[in-house]
Amino acid sequence: MGERVIPLVDHRTVGLAVPAASAPAPTSGLTDARGRPLRDLRISVTDRCNFRCSYCMPKEVFNSEYTWLPHSALLSFEEITRLATRFVGLGVHKLRLTGGEPLLRKGLETLIAQLAALRTPDGQPLDITLTTNGSLLARKAQALQAAGLNRVTVSLDGLDDATFRAMNDVDFPVADVLAGIEAARAAGLGPIKVNMVVKRGTNDDQILPMARHFRGTGVVLRFIEYMDVGATNGWRMDEVLPSADVVKLLQSEFALVPLQASELGETAERWGYAGADGRHNPALGEVGFISSVTQAFCGDCNRARLSMDGKLFLCLFAGQGYDLRALMRGGVDDAQLDAAIAAIWQGRSDRYSELRASLPADVQQAVRRVEMSYIGG
């Protein structure tokens, strides 16, 4: 294996200038250059995490010498809420809090309460969700639900304790994550989703044990192809296990039937466990497959991502983001902020996953991409 690539550009200090808005923001029907609406905003609240998973925050890079952002660089809860309000007015109806590990952000319940109070232009509440590694979930689940959080997604890459401890690289036990999932279920933060990043030769032996464990529990298990996010994870195509292979493996033990997407822009291909009659049995649940490498879903992607320091990214694989923090702290009013966000989205044409297969391997490696730990998954 070659040496790990260390990024030379710190995405936290380099941002794109926000394009000048030539017109006020539209009151409805905001779409990008490919006709995709803006519906989902993913908000990173911290650059810190207490795990060191090799595919996201490898210890070789994120070590004791790594410089974290100072608190003053982070968006305040009031700034996040102001931006979220503007995005909701432009069509967003789902907010997902990410990190780093979002539960490390002190007082997060206060932010959740502020976001839960927002309403769409037609008066509907938002879908407020959170993605977490589960390490702090057991102690925080009830308070998160009380603050207004609707659902959680938990990252869990295996049930075997030795495998899991090796993957999180901080010797954290899998039992504590499972306890967090149970606490979230008891608190009503469901339906709970569990995301498993599958890396060939590392944890692919955990696919069937994970399916057996969560089948029939009401938890939706989703298998994610190991992706080339950022430059620090040493990504190689031969470590990707295609979702089609995972489906075949599961079908060797379980009867599965394809299900329709639950909403426009759904990232996961859904399959349900079949009952004796060959039809989906809701009591047995379902599994999902997120296949950004082998089955691009750029065509109906309706997601934007906001970093903890206020940069807006239009794609998980983008190289730079637009600096909304500088705009806000520069004193623009809400109408100007709306117009700027609309101009950014209307100019969006990102479709990296669709283009990846046509790029030579050396070009794929050279493409500048932001780290997953900076903008969340």
Q: CB within 8 A of 74, min separation 6: which ones?
A: 45, 46, 308, 309
Confidence of residue 311 (pLDDT cuts 50, 70, 90): very high
> Stretch 118-138: mean pLDDT, rounded?
97
Judge whether residue 8 has pLDDT over 50. no
pTM for this prediction: 0.89
Buried b (16+ CB within 10 A) or exposed e, 25-64: beeeebebeeebbbbbbbbbbbbbbbbbbbbbbbeebbee
pLDDT, average across residues 144-156: 98
3 vs 203 pLDDT, higher one: 203
Q: How far apart are CA 167 and CA 201, in angstroms?
A: 12
For range 169-182, the mean pLDDT? 97
Query: For 344-360, how does the pLDDT look when each residue is reduced to its tens digit (9 = 90+)?
Result: 999 999 886 767 666 66
Of the listed ranges 87-91, 250-254, 318-322, 369-373, the one predicted with least confidence:
369-373
Average pLDDT in the 125-150 region?
Answer: 98
The domains located in the chain, with CATH, are 40-375 (3.20.20.70)
**Lowest-confidence region among 3-17, 85-99, 297-311, 319-333:** 3-17
Rg of the chain's alpha carbons, rounded to an integer? 20
Mind listing the pLDDT tens digit for each residue in 232-252?
555 577 788 999 999 999 999
Q: Residue 80: its pLDDT value, please?
A: 98
Neighbours of 165 (CB within 10 A): 15
Pairing of strands 286-290, 220-225: parallel
Q: Tell me the pLDDT tens digit for each residue of 182-209.
A: 999 999 999 999 999 999 988 999 999 9
Q: How many CB atoms lie within 10 A of CB 201?
A: 9
